[in-house]
């Protein structure tokens, strides 16, 4: 079973990398980009076959390692 | 003073830190270097040093992997029992990632790696790390980091200010840290995390000796304790 974790900065946390990407898009002539937020995707291959259990397991991984919940939100997708 | 300095793959200035401890305690080769895969600290340790560098290549987040390594379980236990811990640069990141210090160190606000000597102001003398100073003392230490932009929520900041837990601030903020914060103390004042490198400024050959004050503070506090 595969899982995909999206880690993003919480709202309200300044994202200097997102701001730099937005600036660069503007410099390339892409207009109308109001905001850019940068995050990461982590893909996991799990031996677990039960979807609910897998989701539980991955959420636990997010809390313990994959995200820093002081500044980051995460969402888990079971594929 | 019996010091243990933790080594992760990618640590740097670990030996410099050990030399800092040894010189301050007047006892050569006493500080022990401890590999991250060890599960226990040496016995009768007075202080643990977590050095700078780019542990585990800064993968995932700076300090994140190191904070979950076997030795850190012992370090956390040691700190919770009231042990002294100092984390410098990547060591500061490891301390926030392991929950021993609040807040987080984000990418520098100008996105640039900053590597230069900078001035710091000593904000408190009420700690084992800064007791040899006077409040307002200015020291020059090198910084060398990409992720030193300290951030915390308003409640944490209120506690840091209210409880006199900000150890150092930048005279000219190089990374966007909130309230110019360069180093903070834990609530029991025994854990210090700071981005600048005192251990890289403790010999005339390195360009200055300001860093000695920090190690001397520690040595005098731990000898008299």
Collect all residues of chain B within an 8 Å Cβ-Cβ radius of residue A13.
106, 151
Collect all residues of chain A within an 8 Å Cβ-Cβ radius of residue B109.
14, 16
Written as six digits, the tokens of A70 are 């002081």
Q: Which CATH class is domain A2-78?
A: alpha beta
The domains of chain A are located at 2-78
Collect all residues of chain A within an 8 Å Cβ-Cβ radius of residue B104.
68, 70-71
CATH of range B3-224; options 3.30.1540.20, 3.40.470.10, 3.40.50.880, 3.40.50.300? 3.40.50.880
Q: What is the pTM of this model?
A: 0.94
Shortest CA distance from B62: residue in chain A:
A68
Identify whether the C-beta of residue B160 lies closer than 8 Å to the C-beta of residue B184.
yes
Written as six digits, the tokens of B128 are 């084992």
The domains of chain B are located at 3-224
DSSP B47: E
- Give me the interface pTM, i.e. the ipTM: 0.84
Identify whether the C-beta of residue B45 lies closer than 8 Å to the C-beta of residue B81.
no
> For chain A (length 79 residues), average pLDDT per consecutive 10?
96 87 95 94 97 97 96 95
A31: Cβ contacts below 8 Å, ≥ 6 apart: none
- SS3 for B86-140 is EEECHHHHHHHHCCCCCCEEECCCCCCCEEEEEEEEECCCCCCCCCCCCCCCEEE
Taking the C-alpha atoms of residue B223 and residue B220, their distance in angstroms, rounded to an integer, is 5
Residues of B assigned a catalytic role: 89, 197, 199
- A70 and B104: CB-CB below 8 Å? yes
Q: What is the pLDDT of residues B56-114, one digit of tens each?
A: 999 999 999 999 999 999 999 999 999 999 999 999 999 999 999 999 999 999 999 99
Task: Measure the CA angle with vertex B63, ends B203 and A42; round to 5°.
Answer: 155
């Amino acid at each position: 079973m595969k899982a995909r974790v999206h880690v993003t900065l919480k709202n309200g946390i300044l994202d200097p990398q997102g701001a730099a990407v937005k600036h660069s898009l503007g410099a390339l002539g892409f207009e109308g980009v109001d905001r850019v937020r940068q995050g990461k995707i982590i893909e996991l291959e799990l031996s677990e076959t039960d979807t609910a259990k897998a989701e539980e397991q991955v959420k636990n991984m997010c809390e313990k390692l994959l995200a820093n919940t002081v500044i980051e939100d995460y969402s888990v997708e079971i594929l | 003073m019996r010091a243990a300095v933790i080594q992760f793959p990618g640590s740097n200035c670990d030996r410099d830190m050990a030399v800092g401890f040894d010189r301050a305690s007047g006892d050569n080769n006493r500080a022990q270097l401890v590999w991250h895969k060890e599960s226990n600290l040496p016995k009768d340790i007075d202080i643990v040093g977590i050095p700078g560098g780019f542990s585990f290549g800064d993968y995932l987040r700076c300090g994140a992997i190191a904070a979950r390594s076997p030795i850190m379980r012992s370090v956390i236990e040691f700190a919770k029992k009231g042990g002294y811990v100092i984390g410098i640069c990547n060591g500061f990141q490891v301390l926030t990632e392991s929950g021993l210090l609040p807040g987080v160190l984000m990418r520098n606000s100008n996105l640039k790696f900053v590597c230069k000597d900078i001035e710091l102001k000593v904000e408190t003398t009420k700690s084992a790390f800064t007791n040899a100073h006077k409040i307002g003392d200015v020291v020059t230490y090198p910084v060398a980091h990409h992720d030193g932009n300290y951030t915390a929520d308003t409640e944490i900041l209120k506690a840091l200010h209210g409880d006199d837990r900000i150890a150092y601030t930048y005279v000219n903020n190089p990374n966007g840290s909130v309230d110019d914060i360069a180093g903070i103390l834990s609530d029991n004042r025994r854990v210090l995390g700071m981005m600048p490198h005192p251990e890289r400024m403790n010999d005339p050959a390195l360009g200055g000796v300001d860093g000695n004050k920090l190690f001397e503070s520690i040595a005098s506090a731990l000898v008299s304790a």
